[in-house]
Every structure is written in structure tokens, then in C-alpha cells.
């Protein structure tokens, strides 16, 4: 009903009220810097822009693409540049609709009850409602007769394990890194598009990116893990004969690895690397680099992380 009222320009924002009544102060009550039109209230206000970035997996919406109130509804029903597969896109529309509803509720709380805008509380409200709705509307699947055993193993205490992977299509490649601690807690998930290159070059680039990210985070002891055997064999032995097309990348990785107190490289099978592979697939379909932390991991990635390891099921909730 709220979305219908927005699309029909029937929502009593201050701008809509000023068109019908005299002497209406049309200033946005959240920021006091602009007129409270639906587009400003839900997308242009500094409070709501920060709220979108916090509650919708870092989404930032350019208000220049919104001209009419109807455009707001189109944006929610068909999210732009969605990085998720088509069968999961409904979760984005659901989350966006709940954010719209929370913004309107916050606005009314301030307008009529002298409340305050609290991004953290609003984000919690949206997350709670999202989980409730998604459990109801998601398609349930029968559990297999035999549950798969965990395939991801945690690093020692004090170490960070970075799983890496790369995927390609006919025009580009994409890299991903998943960082987890000794308790299996997901610290960060990074993903980005990369230029088109050979599979081994893409895999080597994902390892190099993981090392650079670890340096940025000031981690001292790391384990880089992935399923690109040619790359990890090259990194595990100084005497290994390097493939010419990854020679420079491997040497750069070796040079940076000396900056850590401890740095290990470990090859694993593909079925032990499923979480980061899913992250790479999402990066391949995304128009921009992303970084999710443990508090804003999208449901599709959170689910595969939980399936990846029994430890994650206790912390990625």
C-alpha cells in the first residue's frame, strides 16, 4: 500500500501537502536542507543516503535517474545492475521496499512523536523484517538424506585465512577474496571485475590481490588458499619452473609475502572453495567493486558461507 501511494503521488509528503494546502513548510524534517519530495525523502536526503549504504549492501542510488514518483517504484521492482542471479533478485526488491517503509516510519516518528533518526536501529529493524519475510517466501528445498561434511577448515589461532578464486566469461574476468579467522567468522568478502586474461593469470591475480588486501588490513599471519594448482605449486616451491604468463605476478606475490610475520600458500580442491567461487560469480555480474563485512553480507553469500563450514553456521547469522 505504501508503494502504491508513492507511485500514485498520494503519499502526504510535505511537497505533496503544499500543493493542496497553503502555508505548509515543505522542508525535509530529516535534514532541514531541502524540500521533502518523495525522491528527496527516500533517496536524496543525507540521512537516507547513509541508511541505504548501510542497510542495502552498500547500494548507492543516483537521484538524477529519478524524475517522477513512478520511477521510485520501477527502481524497486527492477533494481539496477543487480549482482545477484535472477532467481535471487526478489530479495533485493524486498529489502528495498522494507527500507522505504522504514524511512517513512522514521520520518513520521520525528514528525509526530518527536523521535530521533537512528540508522543503527533502523538497520536492525529492516534486517529483522527481511529475515521474517524471506523465510516465508523463499522456496524451500528438501534436505539431502546425507548431510555433506564441512569442507572448509579454519586457520590456527591468530591467523587469517584468505580463500581466493577467479572466474571468466567471453569478455572479462572477476576476482574474489573471502577472509575468515580461526573461529570461522567471515571478516570480509571482496569482489571486483578484472580484464580479460588467461585463467591462470586471473587466478594468480586473485592471490596477489588477497596479499595486498591483507597488507592493508595489517594482518601479520595469513594463509592464502585456492584451487588454482598451477599457481599454488609455483608459490610453494622456489625451484618450481614458472609458467611464463604468470611469472611476473608470482614474483610480485613472493616479494609482498615477505612483509608478513608468516605467510603460507595452500592448494585445495574446488569443493573446498565454494564460498569464494560464489563471490567471484557475483563480482562477474556486478558493475562495481564490492566489499562486504560480517554485518552486511548478502543472503546468497551468507548461505554459501554457512554451507561451506559448520563453524560459519554459528557466526554468520
Residue 140 pLDDT more than 60? no
CB 246 within 8 A of CB 253: no
pLDDT at 257: 95
Residue 1 pLDDT more than 50? yes
Q: How many Cβ atoms sit within 10 Å of the Cβ of residue 151?
A: 17
pLDDT band per the 50, 70, 90 thresholds, residue 57: low
The residue-averaged pLDDT of 261-274 equals 91
CB 235 within 8 A of CB 241: no
CA 225 to each of CA 28, 190, 233, 243: distance values in angstroms, whole numbers, following the listed order: 50, 15, 12, 19
Quick one: which of 252, 303, 202 has its CA closest to 312? 303
pLDDT at 187: 94
Q: How far apart are CA 78 and CA 92, in angstroms?
A: 9
pLDDT at 313: 45
The residue-averaged pLDDT of 41-67 equals 83
CB 30 within 8 A of CB 48: yes
Domains of the chain: 2-137 (no CATH), 160-315 (3.30.420.10)
pLDDT at 58: 60
pLDDT at 267: 93
Let me know if 137 is exposed, middle or buried by CB neighbors in 10 A (0-12, 13-18, 19+). Answer: exposed
pLDDT digits (tens, 9 = 90+) for 76-118: 888 766 555 555 678 888 889 999 999 999 999 999 988 888 9
Q: What is the DSSP letter of 86?
A: G
Q: Say which residue, 302 or 100, is predicted with more confidence.
A: 100
Q: How far apart are CA 303 and CA 307, in angstroms?
A: 6
pLDDT at 36: 94
> Distance from CA of residue 70 to its chain's centroid?
27
pLDDT at 237: 78
What count of residues does the chain have? 317
Q: What is the DSSP letter of 26?
A: -
The residue-averaged pLDDT of 18-26 equals 89
Question: Could you tell me what percent of the chain has a pLDDT over 90?
Answer: 54
The residue-averaged pLDDT of 163-181 equals 94
pLDDT digits (tens, 9 = 90+) for 200-250: 999 999 999 999 999 999 999 999 999 999 999 889 877 777 778 899 999
Q: How far apart are CA 165 and CA 282, in angstroms?
A: 12
Amino acid at each position: 500500500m505504501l508503494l502504491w501511494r508513492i507511485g500514485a503521488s498520494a503519499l502526504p509528503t510535505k511537497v505533496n501537502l503544499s500543493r493542496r494546502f497553503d502555508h505548509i513548510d515543505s522542508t525535509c524534517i530529516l535534514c532541514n536542507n531541502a524540500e521533502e519530495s518523495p525522491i528527496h525523502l527516500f533517496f536524496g536526503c543525507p540521512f537516507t543516503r547513509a541508511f541505504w549504504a548501510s542497510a542495502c549492501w552498500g547500494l548507492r542510488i543516483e537521484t538524477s535517474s529519478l524524475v517522477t514518483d513512478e520511477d521510485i517504484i520501477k527502481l524497486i521492482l527492477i533494481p539496477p545492475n543487480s549482482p545477484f542471479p535472477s532467481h535471487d533478485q526478489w530479495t533485493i526488491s524486498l529489502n528495498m521496499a522494507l527500507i522505504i517503509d522504514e524511512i517513512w516510519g522514521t520520518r513520521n516518528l520525528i514528525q509526530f512523536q518527536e523521535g530521533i533518526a537512528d540508522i543503527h536501529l533502523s538497520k536492525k529493524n529492516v534486517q529483522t523484517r527481511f529475515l521474517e519475510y524471506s523465510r516465508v517466501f523463499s522456496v524451500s528445498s528438501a534436505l539431502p538424506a546425507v548431510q555433506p561434511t564441512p569442507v572448509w577448515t579454519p586457520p590456527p589461532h591468530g591467523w587469517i585465512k584468505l580463500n581466493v578464486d577467479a572466474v571468466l566469461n567471453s569478455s572479462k574476468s572477476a576476482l574474489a577474496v573471502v577472509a575468515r579467522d580461526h573461529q570461522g567468522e567471515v571478516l570480509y568478502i571482496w569482489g571486483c571485475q578484472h580484464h580479460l586474461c588467461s585463467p591462470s593469470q586471473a587466478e594468480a591475480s586473485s592471490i596477489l590481490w588477497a596479499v595486498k588486501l591483507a597488507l592493508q588490513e595489517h594482518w601479520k599471519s595469513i594463509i592464502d588458499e585456492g584451487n588454482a594448482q598451477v599457481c599454488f605449486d609455483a608459490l610453494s616451491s622456489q625451484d618450481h619452473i614458472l609458467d611464463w604468463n604468470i611469472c611476473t605476478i608470482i614474483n610480485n606475490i613472493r616479494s609482498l609475502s615477505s612483509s608478513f610475520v608468516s605467510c603460507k600458500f595452500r592448494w585445495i580442491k574446488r569443493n573446498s572453495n565454494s564460498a569464494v567461487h560464489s563471490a567471484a560469480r557475483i563480482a562477474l555480474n556486478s558493475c562495481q567493486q564490492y566489499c562486504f563485512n560480517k554485518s552486511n553480507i548478502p543472503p546468497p553469500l551468507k548461505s554459501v558461507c554457512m554451507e561451506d563450514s559448520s563453524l560459519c553456521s554459528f557466526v554468520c547469522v
